[in-house]
Structure 1
């Protein structure tokens, strides 16, 4: 293993406070989005207005860190100017890269701001090196974020066959869909997550108090039922509990978090350029704790890759923050193959 190469730690920021804590906890780069439909995590009460975005970029830059702006939804045909204006604003405040999915927005960014670094969003659903090379040759993409559906050997094969830097998710919520291709929640809400910017638009979410029990509905559809002592996560259709042949359980996907600390040496050996932490919708405390844990792990693996092991303190810290308090390697490990 080349012990001198260390992947960039890329951490989420749904607020200015999260950005600052991520930088202070050791993130090499922080990714953020605006308070509008250009952002695929367009949750109410989160994200950045132009003033906050400028403050965040300044805070990170002053400390030698990077800010990546996610303009990662697909522009509406009747109003693409909102996406173009966001590109202009990002360039003006000095972000280090844009994370893009829409080829039209990529073309605009490359034409108007050729000095601006472009990253291919996971929302673009590029799962092979031919697709990634197309985006590099046509739009000048310098990094691609892979969907969470590839095995470790597939990731390594892709890295060997592209000139583009590769970023993979290391920790956070999972999705059963190939990102960018999910249409599941649009059946319940009438809004595509790739355009509206969120799987469960707040306008479609309803919590009904039924005595001590709480029913969660999306677009009027009952998708989960919580007893008084049960934790209640934000309702998404794929992680709802349904009655299937008389058994009520997670019929599509269980709440669980990806955690790749156990294969960090293999990811580094494969040549992964960046490890991404999911969670712009999470709290600032979550961001700080996950960032600090992953900083320690990456530094330890870089210093002594052959002696690296997952420390109990890291497992404990991440276990408290994992969705459903469960960990998985997801598609990275498929022992049945």
Structure 2
């Protein structure tokens, strides 16, 4: 299936300043979350109050952009009211859609706010047509954010079978686990990415020098060792460097960023409706630069011009990029 429409550029915002930067740089949509554990980027100093969200919606709409609110963690038993209130507040603020993962929240949004557009979060890990059809038929989901474990051919196969928009990640941090099913960070820190909204929380990160090496640790676990004068990657378990016998290396994925800019033509051909940039924890200058460059890339694709490549390497983790599962066969 080929998508004849211009793909939507969906951009992150962790602060009101980042939201304005994304809109000004050409974002079609901006996704953000509230200042609590209802979203999967629950870090100090990030996210929006209800008042800030309403102001952000007004700014985005004035600039011709839409606001998507990520309420994409899973409610704790006996505390679902916080998540229900987040959905209600998103509606009151005038959000254009909510991004949900939990089926109870999807049911709540469908019943209480039937006109509210519902997107399925990547945290739901819906990676095949049957799973996606379930969410579409039962909860009226209009778009699914696909996990970052699918090849371009698999994405095309899904789009041939489902009557639903698909959204894929094209830049930023690369999670190689089946999203919504990650227990590594929870095991190491006691904080769940899927319930508390925190992957490798900074409160559990430690760096220290040992015998000429800079050692990075997450909780009680050593994640990486590098020569003292080399940059140490942020200690995320799935990107850690481990030793087993005579082997030493990155078991799951190198500590690098996803950059699928050169794959935009193939993804459009595969029927993708929206391109998503990761990075709600990033600065507004990062947001401005990444959104500006992907705006140019998408516009170049629609004009039949070459896609600029490698221009964002300086903003990538480890100054290196990968096409991830789009091209790899690590599964």
CA spacing shift, 1:130–1:72, aligned 2, 3 Å: same
Distance 1:135-1:335 versus aligned 2 partners, 3 A rule: closer
Matches within 5 A, 1:25-40: 25-40=25-40
The equivalences for 1:232-247 within 5 A come to: 232-245=232-245
- Counterpart position of 1:298: 298
Greater share of residues in helix: 1
Q: Does 1:309 align with 2:306?
A: yes
**Higher mean displacement: 282-291 or 244-253:** 244-253
Q: Does 1:111 align with 2:111?
A: yes
1:329 to 302, 314, 323: 323
Displacement after TM superposition at 1:139 (Å): 0.7
Structure 1 residue 51 displacement after superposition: 2.1
Q: Deviations over 1:36-65 (max 9, x none)?
A: 111111122211122221221111011111
- 1:1-337 equivalences in 2 (<5 Å): 4-208=4-208, 214-245=214-245, 248-304=248-304, 308-311=305-308, 314-315=309-310, 317-334=311-328
Residues 217 and 150 of structure 1, relative CA distance in 2, 3 Å threshold: same
Query: How many Å separate the matches in 2 of 1:230 and 1:100?
Result: 39
Output the TM-score relative to the length of structure 2.
0.94
SS of match in other structure, 1:195: coil
The 1:42–1:309 alpha-carbon spacing in structure 2 relative to 1, beyond 3 Å, is same
Tell me, in whole angstroms, the C-alpha distance in 1 between the residues paired with 2:127 and 2:3. 27
Tell me how far 1:190 sits from its aligned partner: 2.1
1:241–1:248: 8 Å Cα contact kept in structure 2? yes
Question: Please, what is the CA RMSD of the aligned residues?
Answer: 2.1
Distance 1:237 1:277, change over 3 A: same
Q: C-alpha displacement at 1:229, in angstroms? A: 2.6
Q: Aligned with 1:194: secondary structure?
A: coil
Task: Give the Cα–Cα distance (whole angstroms) in 2 for the partners of residues 40 and 140 of structure 1.
Answer: 23
CA contact (8 A) 2:240 2:255 kept: no
Range that drifts further, 199-208 or 185-194 = 199-208
Alpha carbons of structure 1 residues 58 and 45: separation in structure 2 relative to 1, 3 Å = same
8 A contact 2:150–2:326 mirrored in 1:
yes
Asked whether the equivalents of residues 98 and 118 of structure 1 are also in contact (C-alpha less than 8 Å), the reply is yes
Which secondary structure state, in structure 1, belongs to the residue aligned with residue 195 of structure 2? helix
Pairwise CA distance, 1:153: 1.0
Cα offset, 1:250, TM superposition: 2.8
TM-score w.r.t. structure 1 length? 0.92
Q: How many residues matched? A: 331
Provide, for residues 4-55 of structure 1, a one-character-per-residue CA deviation record: whole Å limited to 9, x for no partner. Answer: 5210000111111111111111110010011111111112221112222122
SS of the counterpart of 2:70?
strand
Give the gaps of 5 or more residues in structure 2.
none
Distance 1:133 1:283, change over 3 A: same
